[in-house]
């Protein structure tokens, strides 16, 4: 795929949940970040294998030799996909991923609460 301009073409991403099941096919890294609310760099590192997972999800770049159909959603497992790609990766147990997901959500809630409180304080100081 050729692009007009200096940017590389976007890579399709596959998103697997903590139970190793394919839950989404996303058109680009930016779309995955919008979809999940997770940092772009963390998703990228998860795709390349530098991170095992991020935000309670496993991310993979779509392999050009592996065809993903709509019927694969909710059926294809992460281990099957990695085997089809000829890649060997580390996985967390389902229990570990559940704890990681819960901790991630709690940190996110705390951060949102902090930002909301800071915004309220700034508005009060402006008055």
16-66 pLDDT tens trace: 998 899 999 999 999 999 988 888 999 999 999 899 998 889 999 999 888
Instruction: Report pTM.
Output: 0.76
pLDDT single digits (tens) 65-82 = 888 888 888 899 999 999
Quote the CA–CA distance of 43 and 118 in Å, as a whole number: 28
Asked whether the beta carbons of 5 and 56 are under 8 A apart, the reply is no
The SS3 of residue 64 is coil
Give how far Cα 93 sits from Cα of 19, 53, 58, 98, 116, Å.
Answer: 8, 11, 12, 9, 35
Sign of the torsion formed by the C-alpha atoms of 119, 38, 1 and 6? positive
């Amino acid at each position: 795929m050729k692009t007009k301009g200096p940017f590389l073409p976007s890579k399709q991403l596959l998103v697997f949940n903590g139970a190793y099941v394919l839950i989404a096919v996303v058109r680009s890294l930016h779309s995955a970040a919008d979809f999940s609310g997770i940092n772009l760099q963390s998703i990228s590192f998860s795709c390349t294998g530098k991170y095992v997972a991020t935000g309670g999800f496993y991310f993979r770049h779509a392999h050009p030799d592996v065809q993903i159909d709509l019927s694969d959603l909710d059926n294809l497992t992460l281990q099957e996909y990695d085997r089809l790609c000829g890649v060997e990766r580390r996985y967390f147990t389902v229990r570990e991923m559940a704890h990681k997901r819960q901790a991630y959500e709690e940190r996110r809630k705390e951060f949102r609460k902090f930002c909301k409180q800071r915004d309220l304080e700034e508005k009060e100081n402006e008055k």
